[in-house]
A and B are shown apart, each in its own frame.
Chain A
Amino acid sequence: MRQSESRAHTAQTSSPVVAPGMRDVTVLGIESSCDETAASVVRNGRDMMSSVVLSQIEVHQAFGGVVPEVASRAHTEMMTRVIEQALRDAKTTFSDLDAIAVTYGPGLVGALFVGVTTAKSLALATGLPLIGVHHLAGHMVASALSHGATPPYLVLIASGGHTDLINVLASGEMVRLGKTRDDAAGEAFDKVARAMRLGYPGGPAISEAAKRGDPTRYAFPIAKLPDGPFDFSFSGLKSAVMLVLDKEKRAGKESSIPDLAASFQEAVVQALCAKTEAALLQTGQRTLVLAGGVAANEALRLALRARCDALGVEFVVPPVALCTDNAAMIAAAGYDRYVRGLFDDLTLTGVATASIEAWYAAPATKQ
């Protein structure tokens, strides 16, 4: 079990947001939307008392990607153990908790069912309120855990499952400005890495190979989507890389994997930077928050920081353990719902595609 240091982020957080005199609110978060089985205890939406993340990467490595059935089986086997560990790390029992928060979507529906079903049992068995959390809302509040960031801000979420630009207003209301039309950024990394036989997951492998390569060797296209200025598309780029591999192979040439990796990565980074910069300019937001597993990519972080510096915009990136899927972010997002009195009933269920705007407006079971 990989565990982020239980209280490591506490020192950086701002003072508690609860009003003076109000008692502490402790939330158990549960996450199982993809291939991480995770549970965490967070106090007042900021103080991370424990965060347990059990990654299934090794199980899926043999298949070169996440196999939904394999993921669901692993979640079922490990979920109660992960929750027990999170409670133990936080020196907490169910009687110390105020609510159970769980990711209900979006994600792999069979995987989501495991977390949601578990959370509903805990809620029914203990009488604690149940809170369904939108996975992307979780990614957004990771910056609150690490930096005490509060809206308004613009968020770029780039992961194996998502590539989204979301404008978060001062009220906390969320508007999704852009999304990917096809592959998510992390998915493009995985697919290209597979084509280059670099293994899975593709992000770290490509980033490593790119360090030895020339990013200007190949000029790969950046998709222009006139009807969606903030939307992304990575499938054309992926095809372009595969075409080069194929062409060079047929010409009897051995492709330079470092050059290809560097050029591909450069194209992804430029696409993400260009759309993000345009969104910053249009919204006038003064803070950019980066979230999702692709935030671990150093080239992307450097490029976004440079753009933000040039624009005088504050750039916030939570540590990698909070950028990749975890349950602390779900508990923190659950706290925001708790404060607003937004709870779900026992009909809560896993939803493969769930709208962030609709979720902000009402609980998942009351839409």
Chain B
Amino acid sequence: MGERMVQLAMDTSTERLSVAIATEDGEVIGETTLAAARTHATYLHPVIEQLLSAVRCSFADVSGIAVGLGPGSYTGVRIAVSAAKAFAFARRIPVVGVSSLEASARQVKCRAGAVAAVFDARRNAAYTGLYRAGVEWQLLAPEARAAYSDTAVWIREHLLATDGLYIVGDGAHALARELEVLEFPCIVAQRAVSVVYARDVLDAAQPALHDARGWSEQEVIKRAHELVPRYLQVAQAETASHQVGGVGHG
């Protein structure tokens, strides 16, 4: 152990739990993705520990961390983000957060055209991210929780039908139906499930992880403290429909 430094990436924003380990130049040497809905809190750390040992590394060999910030399940995103913050804090190594939507879009291995990542958020709405694929991915519209119909209208107004539009995520079919009404062509990625592969989190985080090599220790700790999930929805708005919990002080 200790002959090489590695980077660790993780995402728990969807029902899938994904962890990847890569060399410092970005070559993935280990990845595990589990369909483990509602058990992320239990299995994230055992998976990381096993993966590290499988590639003959210890935690002391980890030089940087990339984490999917969401959006997605509120409880889910907090697990990877809390874990990543604490790893970075304990070992004084940089942590970089990226959009889980963007990482998810990257599983479409095209180098041109547009990709929509759509995670269903119930009530006819979804967390949506729209990107221009390429060597450097470009965000076309701010990620948001939006109605499928509004997203479809935006796409028709801003994208060219000839560009080619891929859709990933468990909201893909719902968005495709709305686009069909507007006669805008699109391709739904084979299985319309929401999944974020940790290798894609790492990919999206690579430029930031590279910059992070220049951070001072103080900066490393500050960034770890400041890292927060990307909920795309304020808790206050949620609480209007939420029951106030029974548990109080003490």
List chain A positions with a Cβ less than 8 A from chain B: 34-35, 57, 63-73, 76-77, 79-81, 83-84, 94, 107-108, 110, 113-114, 116-122, 124-127, 158-162, 183-184, 186-187, 189-190, 200-203, 292-294, 323-325, 345-350
Question: In the complex, A54 Cα to B64 Cα: how many Å?
Answer: 29
> Chain B residues in contact with chain A, CB under 8 A?
39, 41-46, 48-49, 59, 74-75, 78-79, 81-87, 89-91, 221, 224-225, 228-229, 231, 235-236, 238-239, 242, 244-250
Which 10 pairs between the two chains have the least Cβ-Cβ distance?
A293-B250, A160-B248, A159-B250, A121-B86, A65-B244, A125-B90, A346-B45, A161-B247, A117-B82, A118-B86
Q: Name the B residues within 8 Å of A64 (CB-CB).
A: 244
Bound-state Cα–Cα, A184 to B235, Å: 26
Cα distance, A107 to B39, chains bound together (Å) = 18
Task: Assess whether A66 is in contact with B41, with CB atoms less than 8 Å apart.
Answer: no
State how many angstroms separate the Cβ of B35 from the closest Cβ of chain A: 18
Known: A72-B75, A346-B46. A80 touches B247 (CB 8 A): no
- A160's partner among B45, B82, B249 (CB-CB below 8 A) is B249
Q: Are A125 and B59 CB-contacts (below 8 A) given A80-B86, A346-B46?
A: yes
Given contacts A57-B249, A76-B81, A110-B78, 19 further A-B contacts (CB under 8 A): A34-B248, A65-B244, A65-B248, A67-B244, A68-B242, A69-B74, A69-B235, A69-B238, A72-B74, A76-B85, A116-B41, A117-B45, A121-B82, A124-B45, A126-B90, A190-B249, A203-B249, A346-B45, A350-B41
Q: Could you list 5 examples of A-B contacts with CB < 8 Å?
A: A94-B90, A203-B249, A325-B249, A325-B250, A346-B49
**Contact partners of A345 in chain B: CB under 8 A:** 46
**Chain A binding surface, main DSSP class:** helix
* B residues less than 8 Å from A77 (CB atoms): 228
B83 touches A117 (CB 8 A): yes
Q: How would you classify the secondary structure of chain B's contact residues: helix, strand, loop or mixed?
A: helix
Q: Are B48 and A124 in contact (CB under 8 A)?
A: yes
A183 adjacent to B83 (CB under 8 Å): no
Complex-state Cα separation, A84 to B238, whole angstroms: 31
Bound complex: CA A345 to CA B236 (Å): 36
Min distance, Cβ B191 to any Cβ of chain A, angstroms = 28
Query: Which residue on B lies nearest to A68, using beta carbons?
Result: B245
The interface residues of chain B lying within 8 Å CB-to-CB of A119 are 86
Q: How far is the CB of B170 from chain A (nearest CB, A)?
A: 22
The residue of chain A having its C-beta at the shortest distance from the C-beta of B79 within the complex is A117
* Residue of A67, A114, A117, A122 touching B245 (CB-CB under 8 A): A67
Q: With A80-B89, A346-B45 in contact, do A114 and B249 touch (Cβ < 8 Å)?
A: no
Q: B59 — which chain A residues lie within 8 A by C-beta?
A: 124-125, 127
Distance in angstroms between the alpha carbons of A63 and B82 in the assembled complex: 25
Q: How far is the CA of A154 from the CA of B128 in the complex (A)?
A: 56
How far, in angstroms, from A123 to B42 measured CA to CA in the complex?
14
